[in-house]
Amino acid sequence: MSRPTRFKNAQAEESQFQLRLIVAYAIMVLLFLLLVSRFVWLQVMQHEHFSTLAQNNRISLVPILPSRGLIVDRNGVILAQNYSAYTLELTLSKIDDLDATIAELGTLVNITPRDLKLFKKLRAETRSFEAIPLKTKLSEEEAARMAAHAWRFPGVEVKARLFRDYPFKELTSHVLGYIGRINTRDVERLEEENKTTNYRGTTYIGKTGLEYTYEDELHGTVGFEEMETDAGGRAIRTLRRTPPVNGRSLHLALDIRLQEIADKLFGKRRGALVAIDPRDGGVLAFLSKPGFDPSLFIDGIDSQTWKELNEDWEKPLVNRALRGLYPPGSTFKPFMAMAALEAGSIGPNDVRPAPGYFTLPGSSHQFRDSNPRGNGMANLAKAIQVSSDTFFYKLAWDMGIDRIHPLIGQFGLGSKTGIDLDGEAAGVLPSKEWKARRFAKYRPEVRRWYPADVVSIGIGQGFNAYTPLQLANGVATLANDGTMFKPHLVQKVVDPQRGKEALIGASPTRRLPFKAAHFDYVKHGMQMVLQPGGTAARIGVNLPYTMAGKTGTAQVVQIKQGAKYNAAAIAERYRDHSWFVAFAPVEAPKIALAVIVENAGFGAAAAAPIARAVTDFYLTGKVPADLSGQLQTVKTETRSAEEIARAQAERAAEEQESHDATPAP
């Protein structure tokens, strides 16, 4: 090969080498630039993000639970409080052999079959990484024993927890309700309301009653501790602490002494009593019989107890005062009288027949009076006094449902009162429209309103159905000359830490446009009920104050035409209900109440004496002689708002100190 050819080949190889070198260099520069840009992205652009991640790996936020607010009655008597106790809790994700672990734990603490049933129930409702209580309220010895053997049980902890206590048990169960463990439904609701952050570490939440209605006030605000941790997640030191804000306390209008007297007077009978202050709508007593022990629900009720409560024919879980719907019987007549006067269907001086039975034109069916001989001739006041059914049958027939419904509806019957409790029933004030809706799925002849439908409505029977709360509120409005307040159990919400309180508004919600003379007339007729010749004359003897009332006997089952009612021949649950509504003193009412005793018969025999005794105590302080020595709360000393707030602050501090403590080995 010639020399020029070799030279050209060398030049070509050198050019290729330089090209490869340039390409390699360019790649190196590009890679370097990429590396630099990545460093800039990570170190500069993403500095805050990765700094936060690193900080989070080093720092753990530990929630500090607030102390739940107290609930006290109008005199400062504690109705719901907290106490601290040790709980044995298991985190399933950290336990290899659950059955063996529980068996071993049983040698150190007393684990009952009920504990195991409840644990099984909670296990099905709880995520594996959350702690589940196996046994609550450990003794000091059990807690110390567990602390000494803690190293043997990974995933098992003894924690100091605050528990809710209801000192009066069944007596306040339908008022206070209860708290319970947070379940999936509660979590969904908290997420919808954007409240999950404030429930970190929280185990319990209000389920029913005031505990549910005022959950936001009672719960408080969760605090946090910033804990520095090592690579193994163990706490090294506390960096910063944000203390919790304890829940606010509820001060009720309710008088627990009055509640207890009513409870004792009922004895083992079923029924309800609601007493209201007509001046502001404050609920003085709110009793539903029978009640239940709310502590059964706090840690989750076992299936057997739940079954027993639900299958009990006396229905202890039903809040009769709030949700029980009953025909009002003759307690409806004062409202009928007000409607008739306002409609002009009768005048105060009109005298009409009150015979032993009433028949519709062209019909042979007899609507009988409770007095077979009738009551002769009567004006409206006497008809209220003697409770003439036939008088009010004819009055309802003359008025018609189109005039009755709107006038009586203004007293709140057939509508929710808006009381600060969940689940209130609306009741039924009948109308043509209501019947068409109620029987919409039935044949046209069933949906149609018949003229005869209005007759029984005039004496509080037929389709009428109201709660004791509605009747108490209606009577309070009547006593107050048409000024209506929304019933409320809570008078004020108090923040014991800041010393601030928020009063529950007591402004009238409605003023009925009825004539003052008509209120005076009907109230006079109700006063006559307690005077000689009235259906409740017996309880009017030696009254130290003025009182107006109305008895009622509500049919549970219909009696066949011509048949005579015989309570002894009827099963107890089908006997008539005993009603009494009243207010006192008449000239300046301080209390209005409705009492129903289920299946107890004539209103004057069962419900009226309870109402008289309760009113006696509230207005005069007199305790029924047969209850002397049986009551626990009557002698309770009252305390000022300042004393209560100070005691609550001290109690909250003690609870938090106890809650933060850990058992020593």
**Which residue's structure tokens are 């009922």?**
266
- Contacts of residue 131, Cβ cutoff 8 Å, sequence gap at least 6: 89, 90, 91, 157, 159
In degrees, rounded to 5, the angle at the alpha carbon of residue 72 between the alpha carbons of residues 69 and 74 is 145
CB atoms within 10 A of CB 286: 29
DSSP 525-592: HHHHTTSTTSTTGGGGTT-SS--EEEEEEE-SSPPPTT----GGGS-GGGSPEEEEEEEE-SSS--EE
**Which residue's structure tokens are 């209130």?**
424
Pairing mode, strands 249-252 and 71-72: parallel
* Residue 173 is among the residues annotated as catalytic for this protein: no
**Element containing residue 162 per DSSP (H, E):** strand 156-165
Tell me the sheet residues that pair with 456: none
Tell which residue, 513, 467, 481, 507, has the closest CA to residue 281.
507
Q: Token pair of 487, please? A: 């019933």
Residue of 67, 173, 288, 330 marked active site: 330
CA-to-CA distance for 543 and 546, rounded, in angstroms?
Answer: 7
Residue 161 is classified by DSSP as E
CA-to-CA distance for 644 and 650, rounded, in angstroms?
Answer: 10
Q: Token pair of 402, please? A: 């189109």
Instruction: Give catalytic residue positions.
Output: 330
